[in-house]
């Protein structure tokens, strides 16, 4: 009789242990743009939240984030989550490269994902994007829209001038020139990813110089570009902005219209979501570089584009096929002026 009781207790303990097992936990550390930058950080967080919903995880407990207000916060924030023993820590942005390498060494068993850069560590998965390919597509949109309006100038505003952001510039310029080599592309860098005021000031500069459309690759700074396009359009001086990382159409809404022509979507949400799924399944791609491009839909324009005409959408689809097949190769390096 006593043996039966012991066996019953053991079985009950095992059942309780199963149901009491800690949930899978994911932490996101933002860069200086913040969680609601309407761009890179926000897109990554949306992918993590989608993963949480699919797996009945609690946002704020099982999946959570820490915001960085300066680069000096990166290592402490990553370390805070590592000390908590989270199953996966995600850091979006190439600015995390040094901090991620340092934390990976300090916590060799911690699974880490860096988006937008490569950290060659066995406990780090790296997700990178063919930004130049997606930017080519919105360059085509800008070029065709400008020609329809009989305009011959567009602009590009980058956050900080690094090779990564220059890939956006390079692809955009090539897309514009593929439509019309005579269209001028103005280029400015803000030196900041979290300064909407600086973004708006650069938009004022380019619009005043004659730019009809501005493509930004500047995170939170780019919100100022969209704001300026919206304010001018509200007053009847129609100007356009092109969003980045996620569909920013809603950010340009005024009345029943939007000043956002289209957006170059980097599916950072897909990268964060998919790596979380792999990690939860015991297939964490540590030491691997995952490439998201036009061919695998890692970069694209939104599925719905109210401001693009059918002929522009068709032309973009044609270029997508050419890029995916390898017939058209887009350079990652801006042309020398």
Please give the Cα distance from 112 to 276 (Å, whole number). 10
Residues 146-187 pLDDT 10s: 999 999 999 999 999 999 999 999 999 999 999 999 999 999
Residue 58 gets which letter from DSSP?
P
Architecture of domain 131-266+307-325: 3-Layer(aba) Sandwich (3.40)
- State the pTM of this model: 0.81
Contacts of residue 222, defined as CB under 8 A and 6 or more positions apart, other chains included, come to 39, 157, 159, 196, 199, 216, 241, 243, 244
Give me the pLDDT at residue 28, please: 98
Contacts of residue 250, defined as CB under 8 A and 6 or more positions apart, other chains included, come to 258
Please give the Cα distance from 101 to 84 (Å, whole number). 19
Please state the domain extents for the chain: 2-129+269-292, 131-266+307-325
208 pLDDT higher than 80:
yes
Give me the pLDDT at residue 57, please: 97
Please tell me the least confidently modeled range out of 11-25, 201-215, 224-238: 11-25
For 272-280, what is the mean pLDDT? Answer: 97
Structure tokens at 168: 């956006």
Residues 262/303, Cβ–Cβ less than 8 Å: no
Which three-class secondary structure string do you get for 178-196?
Answer: HHCCCCEEEEEECCCCCCH
Residues 37-83 pLDDT 10s: 877 899 899 999 999 999 999 999 999 999 999 999 999 999 999 99
Identify the CATH class of 2-129+269-292.
alpha beta
Residues 213/142, Cβ–Cβ less than 8 Å: yes
Residue-averaged pLDDT of the chain: 93
Structure tokens at 123: 């406990």
27 pLDDT higher than 90:
yes
pLDDT band at 194 (very low <50, low <70, confident <90, very high): confident
Please give the Cα distance from 249 to 271 (Å, whole number). 22
Give me the pLDDT at residue 6, please: 39
Contacts of residue 194, defined as CB under 8 A and 6 or more positions apart, other chains included, come to 31, 32, 33, 34, 37, 219, 220, 221
């Amino acid at each position: 009789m006593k043996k039966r009781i012991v066996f019953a207790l053991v079985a009950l303990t095992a059942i309780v242990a199963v149901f009491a097992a800690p949930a899978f936990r994911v932490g996101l550390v933002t860069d200086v743009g913040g969680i609601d930058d309407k761009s890179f950080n926000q897109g990554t967080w949306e992918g993590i939240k989608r993963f949480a919903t699919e797996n009945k995880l609690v946002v704020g407990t099982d999946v959570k984030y820490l915001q960085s207000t300066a680069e000096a916060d990166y290592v402490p924030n990553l370390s805070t989550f590592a000390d908590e023993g989270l199953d996966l820590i995600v850091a979006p942005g190439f600015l995390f490269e040094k901090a991620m390498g340092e934390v990976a060494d300090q916590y060799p068993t911690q699974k880490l994902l860096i988006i937008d850069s490569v950290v060659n560590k066995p406990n780090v998965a790296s997700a990178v994007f063919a930004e130049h390919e997606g930017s080519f597509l919105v360059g085509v949109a800008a070029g065709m829209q400008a020609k329809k309006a009989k305009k011959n100038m567009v602009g590009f505003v980058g956050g900080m001038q690094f090779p990564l952001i220059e890939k956006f510039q390079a692809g955009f310029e090539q897309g514009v020139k593929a439509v019309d080599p005579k269209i001028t592309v103005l280029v400015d860098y803000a030196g900041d990813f979290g300064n909407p005021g600086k973004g708006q000031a650069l938009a004022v500069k380019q619009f005043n110089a004659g730019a009809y459309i501005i493509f930004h690759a500047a995170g939170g700074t780019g919100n100022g570009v969209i704001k300026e396009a919206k304010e001018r359009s509200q007053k009847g001086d129609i100007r356009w902005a092109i969003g980045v990382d996620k569909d920013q159409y809603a950010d340009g809404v005024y009345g029943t219209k939007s000043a956002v022509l289209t957006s170059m979507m980097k599916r950072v949400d897909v990268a964060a979501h998919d790596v979380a799924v792999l990690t939860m399944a015991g297939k964490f791609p540590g030491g691997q570089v995952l490439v998201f491009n036009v061919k695998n839909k890692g970069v694209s324009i939104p599925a719905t584009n109210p401001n693009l005409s059918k002929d522009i959408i068709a032309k973009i689809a044609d270029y997508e096929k050419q890029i995916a097949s390898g017939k058209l190769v887009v350079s990652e390096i801006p042309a020398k002026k």
